[in-house]
Amino acid sequence: MNKLQELTEKLYNEGLSKGQQDAEIILNQAKTEAKKILAEAKNRAKEIETAAKKQAAEIRANADAEIKLAGRHIISEVKQSVENLILSRAISPDIKHAFDDASFVQALMKTATERFNPHDSEKFNLFMIVPEGQKNTVSEYLASKVSSVLSSMEISEDSRMKSGFKIGSGSEGYYISFTDEDFDSLFKTYLRPKVSELLFG
C-alpha cells in the first residue's frame, strides 16, 4: 500500500511539475506574442499618424493655394471694376455727347469717305451703313461734300445702329466702324494701362 501511494505521489508530482513547465512555456510564448502584436500595433499607429499628418499638410497647402488664388482673382476683379467705373465716367459721356453732335459725325463721314479710296472709288465699290432714318440726310450731306465718291457709294440703314456709321469696300470685303461704342472701346483700351498705373502703381 505504501509503495502504491509513493508511486501515485511520484506520478502526481511529475505530472504537476510537467504541467507547470508547459504552462510556463505557453505563458512565455503568449507574452512574447503579445509584445510582438503590441509593437506592430504601435508601428501601425505611427504609420497612420504620419500619413494623417501628411494628408492634413497637403490639404492645408492646397487650401492655402486656393485661398491665395481666389484672393488674387477677387483683387483683380475689384481693380478691373474700379478701372471700368473710372473710364466709363471719364470717357463714355463725352464720346456719346460727341456722337450726338451731327456736325462731328458728318465731318468723320467726309474724312473717312475721302481717305478710303479717293482715286478709284468705282473699282473700290464703297458702301456706308448708317442708323435707321439717316440715309437721306447723309446722302445729301455727302453729295455736297464728296459728290465724286457718292455716285459709286451704296448707302444703307441698320436699325440696330444707334449712332455713327460703318464704311467699307464691297469688292475687298471689309469695313471700318465709326460708332460711339467703337470709340469708347478704343479709348478705354488705350487708357486702361495708364489708369491702372495711376491707381495701383
Average pLDDT, the chain: 80
Cβ proximity of 168 and 117 under 8 Å: no
Buried b (16+ CB within 10 A) or exposed e, 82-96: ebeebbeeebbeebe
Distance CA 128, CA 130 (A): 7
Q: What is the pLDDT of residues 33-51, one digit of tens each?
A: 878 888 888 888 888 888 8
Which is higher by pLDDT, 95 or 166?
166
Query: Span 127-132, mean pLDDT?
Result: 89
Which is higher by pLDDT, 121 or 56?
56
Lowest mean pLDDT among 4-8, 72-76, 136-140, 167-171: 4-8
Distance CA 147, CA 127 (A): 14
Distance CA 75, CA 81 (A): 10
**What pLDDT, on the 0 to 100 scale, is given for residue 151?**
67
Confidence of residue 141 (pLDDT cuts 50, 70, 90): confident
* Residue type, position 177, single letter: S
* Residue type, position 19, single letter: G
Which is higher by pLDDT, 111 or 152?
111
Confidence of residue 29 (pLDDT cuts 50, 70, 90): confident
**What pLDDT, on the 0 to 100 scale, is given for residue 180?**
87
**What pLDDT, on the 0 to 100 scale, is given for residue 46?**
86
Ranges assigned E (strand) in the chain: 126-131, 154-158, 165-169, 174-178
The predicted model scores a pTM of 0.54
